């Protein structure tokens, strides 16, 4: 059995450079008030490179007065392309500022969020959903200096997306709409909010409420749902997201139906495949990358000495019209 390699320590770097551990620390942390000769600094940095030394997080935390870890709490649901884009942009923007992102699924089995915060020594904890008072207090007791949520007005935005779907179809002349609900139970809360937006648009237009059907990502099940909508005089369907809409288009082909001739189909999220379907999928797009950048800017500003805040960021939802409607 191979023994693990010994981790390089600050003492190893000090011996290699012929200086004290304190001098190595001063160089690595660029400690104010310490006059280190340039030749000594170069020798220390060369030893760091040669030994592949990486400071421990706990040591950096002591030197800086805080860690560089940002903990993001994500709702425990199926992670789609939109959330993935948000997390990637948030992580990249934080990395530009020398910060490291750790994610945690809220509500998933395992340790509670304050325990995770203490384990990774997070200085900042951000959430996509508001934290209750007990959780916020627990996070601060666990060492978080900053605790906040994204403040993107999620509920109105979710309803707004459903409303945009329906308004687009109503403007095209459709007077009886359907709604394709997702199969995954963890998505139902979001789907219900989007469905309320569709219902609001129908009520405002003076037409019947949408006929919502549970759907599966299955050809036979989607074909059956499409036939049911047609029997009920539905001419256009708002799908929970693009994946559900693409599955519906496949089910319609299986049932020898066409879009938009038999049913117009409208998705949400504008995933890359949406423009490649047959026909290309109309959808609602929104800018989660912008929210990721905005949240990262708020983190950096707060850690630089401002009071805890999050700049409101608009998802900027907008309709992309393609051939499916």
- Rounded Cα distance between 78 and 185, Å, is 9
Whether residues 175 and 240 fall in one domain = yes
CB count within 10 Å of CB 263 equals: 25
Q: Is residue 1 part of a domain?
A: no
Q: Is residue 112 part of a domain?
A: yes
Whether residues 257 and 176 fall in one domain = yes
> What DSSP string describes 106-133?
ETSSSS-HHHHHHHHT-SEEEESSPPPH
- Give yes or no for residue 65 having a pLDDT over 90: no
Structure tokens given for 146: 């900053």
**CATH number of the domain enclosing 158:** 3.40.50.2300
Q: Is residue 41 part of a domain?
A: yes
Whether residues 178 and 256 fall in one domain = yes
Whether residues 174 and 245 fall in one domain = yes
Residue range 129-135: mean pLDDT, rounded:
82
Contact 176/234 with Cβ under 8 angstroms?
Answer: yes
Q: Left if phi > 0, otherwise alpha if psi is -120 to 50, otherwise beta: which for 52? A: left
Whether residues 163 and 273 fall in one domain = yes
Look at 129 and 119; give whichever has higher pLDDT.
119
pLDDT value, residue 167: 97
Whether residues 95 and 194 fall in one domain = no
Percent of the chain past pLDDT 90, that is, above it, reads 41
Whether residues 167 and 262 fall in one domain = yes
The pTM assigned to this predicted structure is 0.69
Whether residues 77 and 224 fall in one domain = no
Q: Is residue 325 part of a domain?
A: no
Query: What are the contacts of 270-278 at 24+ separation with CB within 8 A?
Result: 270/242, 270/320, 271/80, 271/81, 271/82, 271/241, 271/242, 271/243, 272/81, 273/242, 273/246, 274/242, 274/245, 274/246, 274/320, 274/322, 275/322, 277/246, 277/249, 277/324, 278/249
Q: Is residue 63 part of a domain?
A: no
Residue pLDDT, tens place only, 172-183 = 999 999 999 998
Using pLDDT thresholds of 50, 70 and 90, give the confidence band for residue 79. Answer: low
pLDDT value, residue 58: 47
Percent of the chain past pLDDT 70, that is, above it, reads 86
Residue pLDDT, tens place only, 82-107 = 778 888 988 999 999 889 999 888 77
Residue range 197-203: mean pLDDT, rounded:
97
pLDDT value, residue 55: 66
Whether residues 32 and 129 fall in one domain = no
Q: Is residue 111 part of a domain?
A: yes
Q: How far is CA 317 from CA 161, 205, 285, 290, in A?
A: 7, 21, 6, 12
Q: Is residue 25 part of a domain?
A: yes
pLDDT value, residue 262: 97
Whether residues 178 and 261 fall in one domain = yes
Look at 209 and 56; give whichever has higher pLDDT.
209
Using pLDDT thresholds of 50, 70 and 90, give the confidence band for residue 157. Answer: confident
Whether residues 277 and 161 fall in one domain = yes
Using pLDDT thresholds of 50, 70 and 90, give the confidence band for residue 315. Answer: low
Total domain count for the chain?
A: 3
Using pLDDT thresholds of 50, 70 and 90, give the confidence band for residue 245. Answer: very high
Whether residues 277 and 294 fall in one domain = no
Q: Is residue 216 part of a domain?
A: yes
Using pLDDT thresholds of 50, 70 and 90, give the confidence band for residue 190. Answer: confident
* Residue-number span of the structural domain to which 26 is assigned: 10-55
């Amino acid at each position: 059995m191979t023994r693990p390699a010994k981790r390089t320590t600050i003492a190893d770097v000090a011996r290699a450079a012929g200086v004290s551990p304190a001098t190595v620390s001063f160089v690595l942390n660029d400690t104010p008030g310490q006059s280190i000769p340039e030749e000594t600094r170069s020798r220390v940095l060369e030893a760091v490179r040669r030994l592949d030394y990486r400071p421990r997080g706990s040591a950096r935390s002591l030197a800086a007065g805080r860690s560089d870890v940002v903990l993001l709490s994500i709702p425990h649901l199926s992670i789609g392309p939109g959330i993935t884009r948000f997390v990637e942009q948030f992580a990249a923007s934080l990395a530009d500022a020398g910060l490291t992102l750790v994610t945690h699924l809220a509500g998933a089995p395992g340790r509670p969020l304050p325990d995770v915060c203490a384990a990774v020594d997070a200085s900042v904890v951000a959430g996509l959903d508001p934290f209750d008072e007990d959780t916020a207090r627990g996070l601060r007791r666990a060492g978080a200096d900053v605790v906040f949520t994204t403040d993107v007005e999620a509920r109105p935005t979710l309803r707004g997306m459903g409303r945009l779907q329906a308004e687009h179809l109503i403007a095209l002349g459709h007077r009886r709409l359907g709604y394709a609900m997702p199969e995954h139970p963890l998505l139902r809360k979001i789907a219900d909010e989007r469905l309320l937006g569709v219902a609001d648009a129908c009520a405002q237009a003076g037409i019947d409420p949408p006929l919502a059907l549970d759907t599966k990502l299955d050809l036979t099940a989607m074909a059956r749902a499409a036939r049911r909508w047609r029997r009920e005089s539905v001419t256009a369907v708002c799908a929970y997201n693009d994946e559900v809409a693409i599955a519906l288009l496949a089910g319609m082909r299986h049932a020898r139906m066409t879009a938009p001739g038999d049913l117009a189909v409208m998705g949400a999220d504008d995933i890359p495949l949406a423009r490649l379907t047959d026909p290309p999928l109309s959808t609602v797009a929104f800018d989660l990358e912008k929210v990721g950048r905005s949240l990262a800017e708020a983190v950096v500003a707060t850690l630089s000495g401002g009071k805890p805040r999050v700049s409101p960021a608009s998802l900027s939802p907008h309709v992309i019209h393609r051939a499916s409607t």
